[in-house]
Amino acid sequence: MQTLGEFIVKKEHDFPHATGELTALLSAIKLGAKIINRDINKAGLLNILGANGVTNPQGEAQTKLDEFANGALKAALEARTEVAGIASEEEEDVVIFKGEKAKNAKYVVLMDPLDGSSNIDVNVSVGTIFSIYRRTTAIGLPITETDFLQRGRAQIAAGYIVYGSSTMLVYTTGCGVHAFTYDPSLGEFCLSHEAVRYPTQGHIYSINEGNYIKFPLGIKEYIKYCQQEDEATGRPYSSRYIGSLVADFHRNLLKGGIYMYPETASYPQGKLRLLYECNPMAFLAEQAGGKATDGTRLILDIDPTELHQRSPLFIGSQSMVEKVEQLIAESSKNTF
């Protein structure tokens, strides 16, 4: 049985910027994930359920576990000499770590500490999403917000932890996608899925159909397409929506499918955050043979302009994403 640490050491040639640094970075994330996993598993016994009375920078109610997960990961990353600072969905501004070691650190980390946290009170799977970039400011100087406003293509590693029936850590360094299942008896993440690829044909679509009336025409057309019977393409497809990006993405990655969060009347720019959610998941999707777009552009090619920038997201099996892109383009032409 190969542990995460052993696997990373074995694959360090896949991480061209550093020797040993990826091991330290992922070890910090792994430690934070263990702490979060421990308390999630005891959530009903501890006073960590429900809202904490605070809203995050997006104006959404912050849960006690959001705050806890953010603190756990931030502390684990700050303890490492490789990280100059972080940006988090739960923080208004970037967090620049103090001290000389931070000024000389090469990397910045962006994260959604607890994706799907509104589900935690009802014991539904949630997750952590992370993204690692090489800093753009000169070594020896304090980092700035510009270090975090990089295209998704610049990511050197990204991944997520899903806290479900088992806890799994899934990551990529641009050389395939690998998944590790947490063994609590060992206290280690052990390799369970190497070189994960999307199935050639997916049969699941994931979208909150309760917002159907607010969807653009192209999305409505795609939903109708998914529901039509056609033996050649295996339709109708199954509708599966958990409401936690990590959990929906993870299922579709293993079984084949598409996750969609389009713009709506309520969220004309989309709801998901480009830097904390869309970019890392898009990196993983492409590395697994899938595709991720905002409906017209590849997610990884979008130039971010704001720390908490939102974006529509269509991500999953390549053929399914391309079909929804086709219908979006056709509906756009028909409106003129």
Known binding residues for substrate are 115-118, 208, 241, 271
Residue pair 134/148 in contact (Cβ under 8 Å)? The answer is no
Binding positions = 89, 112, 114-118, 208, 241, 271, 277
Residue type, 324: V
Yes or no: say if 273 and 221 are a contact pair by the CB < 8 Å rule: no
Q: Are 111 and 66 in contact (CB under 8 A)?
A: no
Q: Are 284 and 159 in contact (CB under 8 A)?
A: yes
Pairwise CA distance, residues 21 & 12, whole Å: 9
* CA dist., res. 245 & res. 263, Å (int): 16
Give the Å distances, CA to CA, from 130 to 20, 145, 159: 19, 17, 5
Residue positions forming the annotated binding site for Mg(2+): 89, 112, 114-115, 277
Say whether the peptide bond before residue 216 is cis (omega within 30 degrees of 0): no
